[in-house]
Amino acid sequence: MRGRRAVKTAFERARQANRPGPKPKPRARAGAISDQERTRIWSAYLAGASVQDLVTTCGRSENTIYKIIKRLKPVRRIEPDCMVRFWRRGHSIVGIARYDKISQRTVRRKLAEAGIGSTQPLKDGLALVEAGVSVEAAAERVICDPARLRGAVKRAARARQAAETGSLQARGVASAEIAARLGPQWTRADVEKLLMEAEDDGRAQLRI
């Protein structure tokens, strides 16, 4: 909750901002670093001055000096061949991305450019599974978490079953008979639930 003085100051600033004519320049914050001083610190650091030297000569704290010069330090980047070596040594994509401070998508793209993995691991992994490759082998080939690929396979199978069930229902086939065609583990309730889920998905797509 704001105090009375803070509210009064806010109203006064609002009145000044709405007045016609040139606006007063904002007062410099006490201890603020000017552009000229920042340039001098950059130049001195690039010329070889240490952080402690800059602290002494500029009268600024060590933390302030580091904040100014951190933009001059080169950003470390892992080369693609180094990414490949890290991957073959057992490092995960998450670990490589965190070490290199880049996105996991970029790591996957670099590995794919080096002939390892895929930029679309779930899509390509699903195609491999549908071609007869096991989930574990497909996940290793496209560089993907087997659990995520297994989930994608289940969702794709669910979508195909929903399409098949909807087609049979449109032809007048009863739910019990559809369940018998889908397999012994299917029941009439499972078929009706699948049809309801497909209808909900269709409504959601229409709203989008």
In a domain, 189, yes or no: yes
User: In the numeric block, which tokens belong to residue 155?
Assistant: 């969702």
What confidence tens digit (pLDDT) does each residue in 112-143 have? 888 777 778 888 888 888 888 888 888 877 87
**Greater model confidence, 72 or 157:** 157
| Amino acid letter, 138 | A
Where are the alpha helices (H) located in 114-145, listed in sequence order? 121-130, 135-142
Residue 194 · residue 182 · CB < 8 Å: no
Do 154 and 203 lie in one domain? The reply is: yes
In a domain, 6, yes or no: no
Do 80 and 101 lie in one domain? The reply is: yes
In a domain, 143, yes or no: no
Do 171 and 203 lie in one domain? The reply is: yes
Do 178 and 196 lie in one domain? The reply is: yes
User: In the numeric block, which tokens belong to residue 197?
Assistant: 């889920």
Do 112 and 154 lie in one domain? The reply is: no
In a domain, 50, yes or no: yes
Do 54 and 81 lie in one domain? The reply is: no
Q: What DSSP assignment string belongs to the chain?
A: ---HHHHHHHHHHHHHHHSSSPPPPPPPPTTPPPHHHHHHHHHHHHTT--HHHHHHHH---HHHHHHHHGGGSPPP---HHHHHHHHHTT--HHHHHHHHTS-HHHHHHHHHHTTSS-SSHHHHHHHHHHTT--HHHHHHHHT--HHHHHHHHHHHHHHHHHHHHHHHHHTT--HHHHHHHH-TT--HHHHHHHHHHHHHHHHHHHH-
In this structure, what CATH number is given to the domain that contains residue 88? Answer: 1.10.10
In a domain, 164, yes or no: yes
Which residues, at least 6 apart from 122, have a Cβ–Cβ distance to it below 8 Å? 144, 148, 149, 152
User: How far is it, in rounded angstroms, from Cα 116 to Cα 93?
Assistant: 12
pTM, full prediction: 0.42
Do 172 and 198 lie in one domain? The reply is: yes
Do 160 and 188 lie in one domain? The reply is: yes
Do 165 and 199 lie in one domain? The reply is: yes
DSSP annotation of 25 reads P
Do 199 and 157 lie in one domain? The reply is: yes
Tally of structural domains, the chain:
3
What confidence tens digit (pLDDT) does each residue in 171-181 have? 888 888 887 87
pLDDT score for 21: 61
User: In the numeric block, which tokens belong to residue 200?
Assistant: 């909900």
In a domain, 170, yes or no: yes
pLDDT score for 30: 55
Q: Would you place residue 159 in the very low, low, confident or very high pLDDT band (cuts 50, 70, 90)? A: confident
Do 155 and 182 lie in one domain? The reply is: yes
**pLDDT at 94 exceeding the cut of 60:** yes
In a domain, 62, yes or no: yes
User: How far is it, in rounded angstroms, from Cα 119 to Cα 111?
Assistant: 8
Q: Would you place residue 19 in the very low, low, confident or very high pLDDT band (cuts 50, 70, 90)? A: low
Do 47 and 95 lie in one domain? The reply is: no
Q: What integer is the mean pLDDT of 28-43? A: 77
Containing structural domain, residue 63: 41-73
In a domain, 57, yes or no: yes
pLDDT score for 113: 80
